[in-house]
């Protein structure tokens, strides 16, 4: 089964074409084409992602990305004549009327490249920034009509879960994991603990009451004059402080450590960093130390709550996903702690390139959900939902 996947939930526009051989979850996957464009340089000057600009940039780049993927994969339907009947062209124009120029770009693309032999179109329908999500959703609906291909709306967070167990070394398969599994999803918009009793069965058992971890990293970065998104830079500074064994700069709280539930809160920690640094001119060594003190506090809370979840539900597998799972210190601490106290629990982190947003994970989630695909002409049901929840 060939799956074209589209991701536009935040500030990355991504399109992939993946061939799944076999049934989910034991299929092998081959990446036939993959293209991603990050808008970060554009949003940086605003200090965060600006939804109207994200939407505009998705609409401007999605056809070139599709073109790149299609040329890598070469699955043009050779029997197809690129004539589009007027009614269909009108339908496409209506679907894409909110994205100026996109319908014309797509129709030109179609005339040049013809229909593609694709079995399923998977598109992120949420959670995310709604104006940004709509670009991907409407574009996917238009493609479904043009190519007469079924379409499946995908939950972005299910993508993050599957990305973490997608093992390129193991014949491009999902690692067969024992259940129950706990998923710790840590990104710019989410911090949640999810219980998985089986494939596709998700139960939310903990979440942040305010800021997400990635958001806290980015806000602390701003306090330290590091441009958006500063998470990875803060992480780099923290590593440097550790390497040089710099003394503690600030005593920071590890919030919610003793709350007795599996919820998180990071806004108090961010405020504590603000009090520790405001109206002071920090030396570069002090900046490194604050970054490390912050990261240590974050890691302590994430670890303690995740271990509590593992114990409470007798989990055999830990899946860590989302942008912050790229953090090497968090990964090391989780792996070392599990090794000493929970050696029967195996942990999975995404391989390089699959922790932050991408469309390969959307293809994997699309394959998981292939049975609930919609027919191409019933696409009215598919909507973007910024608050779509996994459980
Ligand atoms: O999953 P993602 O790409 O987008 C969302 O769905 O939110 O996550 C992006 C977030 C940003 O807040 C970014 O600062 C953070 O992940 N991030 C990191 C690291 N790499 C990305 N935070 C800490 N350490 C990292 N190495
Ligand atoms: Zn994400």
Digit-coded pLDDT (tens) for 113-127: 888 889 999 999 999
Ligand nearest to the CA of 355: 1
Pocket probe for ligand 1: among 128, 213, 217, the residue whose CB has the most ligand atoms within 8 Å is 217
Q: Please give the pLDDT value at position 175.
A: 93
* Spacing, Cα 21 to ligand 2 middle (Å): 26
**Is residue 89 located within the same domain as residue 185?**
no
* Spacing, Cα 356 to ligand 2 middle (Å): 6
**Percentage, residues of the chain above pLDDT 90:** 87
Q: Establish whether residue 49 lines the binding site of ligand 1, counting it when its CB lies within 6 angstroms of any ligand atom.
A: no
Closest to 16 (Cα-Cα) out of 355, 29, 27:
29
Instruction: Please give the residue range of the domain that contains residue 304.
Output: 178-348
- Asked if the model's pLDDT at residue 298 lies above 90, the reply is yes
Digit-coded pLDDT (tens) for 338-381: 999 999 999 999 998 999 999 999 999 999 999 999 999 876 78
Is position 171 within any domain? no
Around 93, how many Cα atoms within 13 Å sit in the side-chain half-sphere? Answer: 9
User: Does residue 349 contact residue 322 with C-beta atoms inside 8 Å?
Assistant: no
Q: Please give the pLDDT value at position 75.
A: 80
Is position 292 within any domain? yes
**Is residue 88 located within the same domain as residue 201?**
no
Nearest residue (by CA) to ligand 1, atom 1, is 323
Average pLDDT over residues 203-207: 98
* Spacing, Cα 12 to ligand 2 middle (Å): 9
Minimum-distance ligand 1 atom for the alpha carbon of 327: 26
Around 121, how many Cα atoms within 13 Å sit in the side-chain half-sphere? Answer: 29
**Percentage, residues of the chain above pLDDT 70:** 98
**Is residue 130 located within the same domain as residue 222?**
no
Nearest residue (by CA) to ligand 1, atom 16, is 323
User: Does residue 37 contact residue 357 with C-beta atoms inside 8 Å?
Assistant: no
Count how many domains the chain has: 2
Q: Establish whether residue 356 lines the binding site of ligand 1, counting it when its CB lies within 6 angstroms of any ligand atom.
A: yes
Window from 49-58, 68-77, 231-240, 297-306 with minimum mean pLDDT: 68-77
**Is residue 139 located within the same domain as residue 227?**
no
Q: Establish whether residue 235 lines the binding site of ligand 1, counting it when its CB lies within 6 angstroms of any ligand atom.
A: yes
Is position 273 within any domain? yes
Q: Please give the pLDDT value at position 138.
A: 96
Digit-coded pLDDT (tens) for 15-39: 999 999 999 999 999 999 999 999 9
- Asked if the model's pLDDT at residue 83 lies above 90, the reply is no
Contacts of 359 (CB under 8 A, 6+ apart): 5, 6, 7, 14, 15, 16, 34, 36
- Asked if the model's pLDDT at residue 82 lies above 70, the reply is no
Q: Please give the pLDDT value at position 77.
A: 76
- Asked if the model's pLDDT at residue 311 lies above 90, the reply is yes
Is position 366 within any domain? yes
**Is residue 259 located within the same domain as residue 326?**
yes
Is position 166 within any domain? no
**Is residue 14 located within the same domain as residue 157?**
yes
Q: Is 341 exposed, middle or buried (0-12, 13-18, 19+ CB in 10 A)?
A: exposed
Q: Please give the pLDDT value at position 76.
A: 78
- Asked if the model's pLDDT at residue 292 lies above 70, the reply is yes
Task: Report the CATH number at residue 214.
Answer: 3.30.420.40
**Is residue 198 located within the same domain as residue 141?**
no
Is position 71 within any domain? yes
Is position 278 within any domain? yes
Q: What is the 3-state secondary structure (H, E, C) of the chain?
A: CEEEEEECCCCEEEEEEEEEECCCCCCEEEEEEEEEEECHHHHHHHCCCCHHHHHHHHHHHHHHHHHHHHHHHCCECCCCCCCCCHHHHHHHHHHCCCCCCHHHHHHHHHHHHCCECCCEEEEEEECCCHHHHHHHHHHHHHHHHHHCCCEEEEEHHHHHHHHHCEECCCCCEECCCCCCEEEEEECCCCEEEEEEEECCEEEEEEEECCCCHHHHHHHHHHHCCCCCCCHHHHHHHHHHHHHCCCCCCCCCCCCCCCCCCCCECCHHHHHHHHHHHCCCCCCHHHHHHHHHHHHHHHHHHHHHHHHHHHHHHCCCEEEEECHHHHCHHHHHHHHHHHHHHCCCCEEECCCCCCCCCCCHHHHHHHHHCHHHCECHHHHHHCCCCCCCCCC
Digit-coded pLDDT (tens) for 250-277: 999 999 999 999 999 999 999 999 999 9
**Is residue 52 located within the same domain as residue 199?**
no
Pocket probe for ligand 1: among 188, 213, 291, the residue whose CB has the most ligand atoms within 8 Å is 188
Q: Establish whether residue 236 lines the binding site of ligand 1, counting it when its CB lies within 6 angstroms of any ligand atom.
A: no
**Is residue 320 located within the same domain as residue 342?**
yes
Terminal Cα-to-Cα distance of the chain (whole angstroms): 27
* Spacing, Cα 324 to ligand 1 middle (Å): 4
Q: Please give the pLDDT value at position 170.
A: 65
Q: Across the chain, what does the average pLDDT equal?
A: 94
Q: Please give the pLDDT value at position 270.
A: 97
**Is residue 23 located within the same domain as residue 145?**
yes
């Amino acid at each position: 089964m060939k799956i074209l996947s589209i991701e536009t939930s935040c500030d990355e526009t991504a399109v992939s074409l993946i061939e799944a051989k076999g049934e989910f979850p034991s299929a092998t996957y081959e990446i036939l084409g993959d293209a991603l464009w990050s808008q970060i340089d554009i949003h940086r000057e605003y200090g965060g992602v600006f939804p109207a600009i994200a939407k505009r940039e998705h609409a401007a780049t999605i056809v070139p990305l599709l073109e790149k993927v299609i040329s890598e994969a070469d699955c043009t339907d050779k029997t197809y004549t690129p004539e589009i009947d007027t009614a269909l062209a009108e339908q496409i124009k209506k679907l894409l009327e909110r994205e100026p120029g996109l319908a014309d770009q797509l129709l030109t693309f179609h005339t040049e490249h013809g229909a593609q032999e694709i079995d399923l179109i998977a598109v992120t329908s949420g959670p995310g920034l709604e104006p940004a999500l709509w670009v991907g959703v409407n574009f996917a609906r238009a493609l479904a009509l043009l190519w007469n291909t079924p379409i499946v709306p995908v939950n972005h967070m299910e993508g993050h879960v599957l990305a973490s167990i997608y093992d390129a070394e193991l014949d491009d398969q999902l690692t067969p994991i024992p259940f129950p599994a706990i998923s710790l999803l840590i990104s710019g918009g989410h911090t949640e603990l999810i219980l998985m009793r089986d494939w596709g069965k998700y139960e939310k058992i903990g979440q942040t009451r305010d800021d997400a971890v990635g958001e806290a990293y980015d806000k602390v970065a701003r306090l330290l004059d590091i441009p958006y998104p500063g998470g990875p830079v803060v992480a780099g500074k923290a590593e440097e402080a550790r390497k040089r064994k710099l003394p503690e700069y600030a005593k920071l709280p590890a919030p919610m450590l003793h709350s007795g539930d599996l919820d998180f809160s990071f806004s108090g920690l961010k405020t504590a960093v603000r009090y520790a640094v405001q109206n002071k001119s920090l030396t570069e060594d002090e900046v490194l130390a604050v970054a490390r003190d912050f990261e240590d506090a974050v890691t302590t809370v994430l670890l303690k709550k995740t271990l509590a979840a593992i114990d409470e539900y007798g989990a055999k597998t830990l899946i860590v996903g989302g942008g912050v799972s790229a953090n090497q210190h968090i990964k090391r601490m989780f792996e070392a702690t599990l090794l000493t106290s929970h050696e029967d629990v195996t942990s999975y982190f995404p391989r390089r390139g699959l922790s932050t947003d991408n469309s390969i994970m959307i293809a994997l989630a699309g394959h998981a959900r292939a049975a609930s695909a919609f027919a191409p002409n019933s696409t009215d049901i598919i909507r973007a939902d910024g608050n779509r929840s996994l459980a």
